[in-house]
Chains A and B, each alone.
Chain A
Amino acid sequence: MKAVFRLARLSFVAALREKETLFWFVLFPLLLLSILTLVFGQLGQEGKMNFRVALADLDRGPSGRGQFAAVVEEVFLSLSVPPGPGKEPLFTVRQPAPGEDERQFILEQTEAVRLGRVAVLIVIPEGFSAAALAALSGSGPPALLGVYGSRGDAASGMAATIVDQVAARLNRELLTVAGLYRSEEATAVRTEWVGDTGAPVAYVDFLLPGMVLMGFFVAGLFSVSGTILFSRDMKILRRYWVTPLRVLQYFGGFSLGYLAMCVLQFALLVLVGRFGFGASVTFAQPLAVVYLVLGAVTFLALGFLVASLAKTAQSGMAIANLVNMPVMFLSGLFFPVASLPLFLRVIVLVSPLNYVAEGLRFSLGTGQLTVPLTLTLLVPLGWIGLSVLVVVRRLRWDVAR
């Protein structure tokens, strides 16, 4: 047993001394967690997004600016004011300079939208206020606000959607001011949360379990298989086999070292998640622990499986890369994977990462189960079983001579 623990400790220490390992298996998950949370965790929140928008008002009659046009303009301008210290406004609004020809401005900005320099151009057309008045009194269709965007440009699409929302709010405001909209008769709206959670799940709480499992996964797939293959190819293992050390002891020590790495990843991710991004999910529940351990052991087994299938370290890494990509992308950790063609769905159905991730999220209350609970346990266990079979038969602990 002394040998097993010493092997565990030293393989853990050696892995951390290697800068590559340190980066990919410890720092990278942290980096990914941070970037994803920073970008997506605050989506829609105030003060984080900013779109460049151009605004032109053509509704200037001989009697000056139309009333409605002025209101609309003010609403958009108010969105260009920072909502608080250190926050960014939603829109950075460009308007024609005093004395500048409006139509010329529109031409220029249309071009700017086309080239992607401006997200949308909002044009209050001539006669807008008159049309609005007519619409208000029920004698005409809604006044049209022109929004010039670039189809296919995601930023443009998002900005246009925001303008839609502004228009909806605007409508209610205008109708209320005109005394036509009775807020006391507003249709009641309520949102209820389906499932046991009872409250919306924060993005970081959704992401964190996935990141933890991703860390285990890449450590198992790459580090485990890579180290075994490298140690075998470099005849590091052969030096062990001339001593009384048994294969099982080496296996045990090595696996413990990997589990120590998993614990380290987990600890760091939870620390950063909680204190850096305010994650509130607690892993200290029996079922969650079960899934964490199951995940770690499954990916350890996968690492050994890859090592059994590869002849050299290089081909092992190639296999690992080949497997890593589809499994990671289709794991549902980064984007939802709903309707897929059959051959991709197979990957989703078979990948142990998906099952453990779902089970873990369910146990933490941040996810619903789309498959029966037993499957979330059985599929990973099945992979462990398969790996054991293959490893026992095929894994060579010494280089062929």
Chain B
Amino acid sequence: MVDKRGPLLAVRDLRKSYGSVQAVDGVSFAVSRGSVFTLLGPNGAGKTTTLEILEGIREADSGEIEMLGNRVRRVTPAMKQRMGVLLQEGGFEPYLKVREILHLFASFFERSRPVDDVLAEVSLEDKAGALVRHLSGGQRQRLALGAALVNDPDLVFLDEPTTGLDPQARRNIWAIVERLKEGGKTVVLTTHYMEEAEALSDDVCIMDHGRVIAHGTPRELTAQLGQDTWIEFDTPDLEPEAWTGFPGEAQRDGSTTTVRTPDLVQTLDSLLRWSREKGVPLRNMTVRQPNLEDVFLSLTGRRLRE
């Protein structure tokens, strides 16, 4: 029974463990139709495991999956007809051409788009006749994305789509994701890049150690941190004694210090005075609103990127 008004994908109390390690520990969320949903978290948070369960290449210990109107424990081949999957890592036959790869993947589905359309969508038209082994990293990722979209899927899974890519390649992928959303597709993506989550997502689920620790739109999540302002600057290594008389609470990460304050002007004033008194230079000072990295930091005491 298909529920057209419900979420396209919902997960309830998903669990998966390996020996003593609980990789996915009671994860639940729902993804609205036509939205971009992001699982954000550091490496080892369980994002990929969760996604692989949803992609059908891993089996959950317990929990329920509701996808494309079906309530199942395990994803079926029939459901895969309407899914598109970009794996975190995977290869292609090195001696096949780009066009041949897409042509091959197209044959796996009942319905597929013309290969030329897909090539255009991922901007690989001029590489259509190139062998996979001659492609750059970014081009390979675009090919993988093309393979994931060749059946014009309703639900697209992107596992760490831009990891290891240069900024230009990353922007290319982001543009593709935007176009997918405009086309009414539902996208579930995982990442450990805060900027990616902020730029693309309608909905974010922050995961850590197999659990969902926060859920909401990027704005909602950062709003939890209140109206505080963040001041960030770099200092050379200092003795702990030098930090006496420091105005306000700060978190230090290497040589970067982050101060969180409700009253920007006053704190800034005190900081500058302290800097003059102690003779400590403040470099690369940024004053900004909280971001998801800060959310994670405040929830776990750790950074997203170790």
Direct contact of A and B (CB under 8 A): yes
Q: A13 at the A/B interface (Cβ < 8 Å)? A: yes
Contacts of A14 in B (CB 8 A): 93-96
Query: Would you list which residues of chain A between 1 and 44 have a CB under 8 Å from chain B?
Result: 2-3, 6-7, 10-11, 13-15, 17-18
Q: B270 at the A/B interface (Cβ < 8 Å)? A: no
CB contact under 8 A between A6 and B107, given known A14-B96, A241-B57, A242-B56: yes
Q: B232 at the A/B interface (Cβ < 8 Å)? A: no
A235 to B85, CA, bound (A): 14
Q: Is A235 touching B87 in the complex (CB atoms < 8 A)?
A: yes
Q: B55 at the A/B interface (Cβ < 8 Å)? A: yes
Chain A interface mostly helix, strand, loop or mixed?
Answer: helix
Q: Is A238 touching B80 in the complex (CB atoms < 8 A)?
A: no
A401 to B23, CA, bound (A): 13
Q: Which of A2, A17, A240, A244 contacts B95 (CB 8 A)?
A: A17
Contacts of A17 in B (CB 8 A): 95, 131
Chain B interface mostly helix, strand, loop or mixed?
Answer: loop
Q: Is A13 touching B96 in the complex (CB atoms < 8 A)?
A: yes
Q: Is B90 touching A10 in the complex (CB atoms < 8 A)?
A: no
The closest CB in chain A to the CB of B144 belongs to A239
Q: A170 at the A/B interface (Cβ < 8 Å)? A: no
What's the minimum C-beta distance from B105 to chain A, rounded to whole angstroms? Answer: 7
Contacts of A236 in B (CB 8 A): 90-93
A3 to B107, CA, bound (A): 5
Q: B237 at the A/B interface (Cβ < 8 Å)? A: no
What's the minimum C-beta distance from B129 to chain A, rounded to whole angstroms? Answer: 13
Q: Is B55 touching A242 in the complex (CB atoms < 8 A)?
A: yes
User: How many residues in B have their beta carbons less than 8 Å from beta carbons of A?
Assistant: 31
Q: B103 at the A/B interface (Cβ < 8 Å)? A: yes
Q: A246 at the A/B interface (Cβ < 8 Å)? A: yes
CB contact under 8 A between A7 and B104, given known A18-B95, A244-B109: yes
A235 to B90, CA, bound (A): 5
A15 to B96, CA, bound (A): 9
The closest CB in chain A to the CB of B131 belongs to A17
Q: Is B87 touching A244 in the complex (CB atoms < 8 A)?
A: no
Give per-residue flags for A217-260: 1 if the beta carbon is below 8 A from chain B beta carbons, else 0: 00000000000000100111011111111100000000000000
Q: Is B92 touching A242 in the complex (CB atoms < 8 A)?
A: no
Contacts of B64 in A (CB 8 A): none
Q: A398 at the A/B interface (Cβ < 8 Å)? A: yes
Range class of the A interface residue count: 20 to 34
CB contact under 8 A between A235 and B93, given known A241-B57, A242-B55: no
Q: Is A242 touching B85 in the complex (CB atoms < 8 A)?
A: yes
CB contact under 8 A between A10 and B100, given known A242-B55, A242-B87: yes
Contacts of A3 in B (CB 8 A): 104, 107-108
The closest CB in chain B to the CB of A238 belongs to B90
What's the minimum C-beta distance from A233 to chain B, rounded to whole angstroms? Answer: 9
Q: Which of A11, A15, A242, A246 contacts B57 (CB 8 A)?
A: A242
Interface centre among B57, B95, B151 (most CB of A within 10 A): B95
Contacts of B89 in A (CB 8 A): 235
Query: Would you list which residues of chain A between 84 and 126 have a CB under 8 Å from chain B?
Result: none
A243 to B91, CA, bound (A): 14
Q: Is A234 touching B57 in the complex (CB atoms < 8 A)?
A: no
The closest CB in chain A to the CB of B49 belongs to A401
Q: B81 at the A/B interface (Cβ < 8 Å)? A: yes
Q: B147 at the A/B interface (Cβ < 8 Å)? A: yes
Q: B248 at the A/B interface (Cβ < 8 Å)? A: no
Q: Which of B58, B77, B104 contacts A10 (CB 8 A)?
A: B104
A241 to B147, CA, bound (A): 13
The closest CB in chain A to the CB of B91 belongs to A234
A14 to B103, CA, bound (A): 14
Enumerate chain A interface residues (CB-CB to B < 8 A).
2-3, 6-7, 10-11, 13-15, 17-18, 231, 234-236, 238-246, 398, 401
Enumerate chain B interface residues (CB-CB to A < 8 A).
55-58, 77-78, 80-81, 83, 85, 87, 89-96, 100, 103-105, 107-110, 131, 144, 147, 151
5 extra interchain contacts, Cβ-Cβ under 8 A, other than A6-B107, A15-B95, A401-B58?
A2-B107, A238-B90, A239-B91, A242-B85, A398-B57
Q: Which 6 pairs of residues, A with B, have the shortest CB-CB distance?
A: A234-B91, A242-B85, A14-B95, A17-B95, A235-B90, A236-B91
Give me 17 A-to-B residue pairs in the complex whose CB atoms sit less than 8 angstroms apart, sorted by A's number: A2-B107, A6-B103, A11-B93, A14-B94, A15-B95, A17-B131, A231-B93, A235-B90, A239-B90, A241-B56, A241-B57, A242-B56, A242-B85, A243-B85, A244-B78, A244-B108, A401-B58
